[in-house]
Structures are given as C-alpha cells and as structure tokens.
Amino acid sequence: MRLAGPESSATAEPRARRYKCGLPQPCPEEHLAFRMVSGAANVIGPKICLEDKMLMSSVKDNVGRGLNIALVNGVSGELIEARAFDMWAGDVNDLLKFIRPLHEGTLVFVASYDDPATKMNEETRKLFSELGSRNAKELAFRDSWVFVGAKGVQNKSPFEQHVKNSKHTNKYEGWPEALEMEGCIPRRSVAS
C-alpha cells in the first residue's frame, strides 16, 4: 500500500544551510563569525552580530544616530561594551573617551546610522585610521560606513565598506544605501 504524501525529498529544493550570524559557510577554527548592517537612512537602525549573538540592534534598543560601536575582546570574542555616539548633536569627546584607552587586540565594530561624521574631528579620524580604517579620513555627512578594526593592527583592515552621500546616487532621498558586510575574523592570540 502506498501512502499519499509529499513528493520524495530527491525532488524537493534543498534549503540553504545558514551558519553563525547567517553566514553562508562556517568560519575556520579560531575565527569569529560576524555580520553587520549599517542603518538605512534615519529609519532602520544598524545591526552588529558576532558568533550568533546580536551585539547591537533596534530590537536590543542599544543603537542610535551616528556611530554604533561594539568593543570585543579579540581573544575570547566576548563583548566588552556597546554604545552609540550621536555625531550630529552629540559631544565628540564622549567618543574619544571610549576609543582612546583601548587595549591591544580589542576588536572594534562600527556601523553608521543617519550621520556618522558631522562631529568627527582630526583626532577621531586618526584614531579610526590607527584601528585600520582606510575611509575614516574621508567620512562626511550622512555617508554609510561599516568597519571592523583592532587596536594594534599593522595593516589596513580588509573589513570596511563606505558609500558617499550623493544626491546623484543615493538610494533613499537624502541618504545612500545601507551597507552589509559579513566575514570571519581571526581570533587574536594571547601572546600578541
């Protein structure tokens, strides 16, 4: 007797397997999986996920206009602190107090929302450059920016995307498109 039921699994579409933070493949051993999205215009907040843990998001209610920054222990992958810095009406000194004292090997995840740059000064741009940013020096009003850097890096970070705010190319009226970035970051060794 044959039972009626769903077609055999051989003809069913296989579902794509998702790994930590929704990555399409697993990260190698001793690497941290991450996925981050900048804010979209001034409507949809940014998200930062690390090792399947949402560090910052609108749902967690810990994001805000400006720069959303999560500091992570580069050895253990544990969150140290996550904060949003208003770069339109806030005080840049709050941001400087947050990123100046970083310890060697601290990972820095940054996702912009609305305006990342109006209050940025030369010291802020220099500090982000020292963390491995190529684009911090050029960031401007309402640009979209996602970046992962680390205290003590020797080279520029491969984990950075930047889209200029331009009325000719903006996806939203007055804002460029949101940026999405994912990847695998090597854990820092205890010795470094």
In a domain, 47, yes or no: yes
Q: What is the pLDDT of residues 74-83, one digit of tens each?
A: 999 999 999 9
Q: What is the pLDDT of residues 36-57, one digit of tens each?
A: 998 776 667 899 999 999 999 9
CB distance 169 to 176 below 8 Å: yes
Share of the chain above pLDDT 70, in %: 81
- Per-residue confidence (pLDDT) for residue 45, from 0 to 100: 85
Nearest residue to 114 (alpha-carbon basis) of 36, 175, 53, 192? 175
Domain count, the chain: 1
28 φ, ψ (degrees, to nearest 5): -65, 165
- Tokens representing 53 are 């843990």
Look at the alpha carbons of 162, 90, 44, 168 in this order and tell me if their dihedral is positive or negative. negative
- Per-residue confidence (pLDDT) for residue 165, from 0 to 100: 65
Instruction: Compute the distance between CA of residue 37 and CA of residue 157 in angstroms, rounded to an integer.
Output: 17
Residue 36's CB is within 10 A of a number of other CB atoms, namely 27
pTM of this structure: 0.84
In a domain, 71, yes or no: yes
For 136, the domain range is 20-186
Instruction: Compute the distance between CA of residue 57 and CA of residue 50 in angstroms, rounded to an integer.
Output: 12
